[in-house]
Homo-oligomer: A and B are copies of this chain.
Amino acid sequence: MIASSIPNFTRALTALSGILDKGAASAQARKIDPLVLTSARLSPDMFALARQVQISCDVAKNGFSRLAGIDAPKFEDTETTFEELQARIAKTVAFLNAVPADSLKGSEDKVVTFPAGPERTLKMKGDAYLNQWMVPNLYFHIVTAYNILRHNGVDVGKMDYLKGADLLP
- Chain A interface residues toward B at CB < 8 A: 5, 8, 11-12, 42-43, 46, 111, 122-125, 128, 131-133, 135-137, 139-140, 143-144, 146-147, 150-151, 153, 158, 161-162, 164-169
Q: Which residues of B contact A111 (CB under 8 A)?
A: 168
Q: How far is the CB of A52 from chain B (nearest CB, A)?
A: 11
Cα distance A128–B166 when bound, in Å? 7
Cα distance A95–B12 when bound, in Å? 28
Q: How many copies does the complex hold?
A: 2
Q: Give the most central of A5, A124, A168: most B CB within 10 Å.
A: A168
| Residues B125 and A42 in contact, CB atoms below 8 Å apart | no
| Residues B140 and A161 in contact, CB atoms below 8 Å apart | yes
| Residues A133 and B162 in contact, CB atoms below 8 Å apart | yes
In the complex, what residue of chain B is closest to A130 when comparing beta carbons? Answer: B8
Given the known interface contacts A123-B167, A143-B144, A147-B147, the answer about A162 and B46 at a Cβ–Cβ threshold of 8 Å is: no
| Residues B168 and A131 in contact, CB atoms below 8 Å apart | no
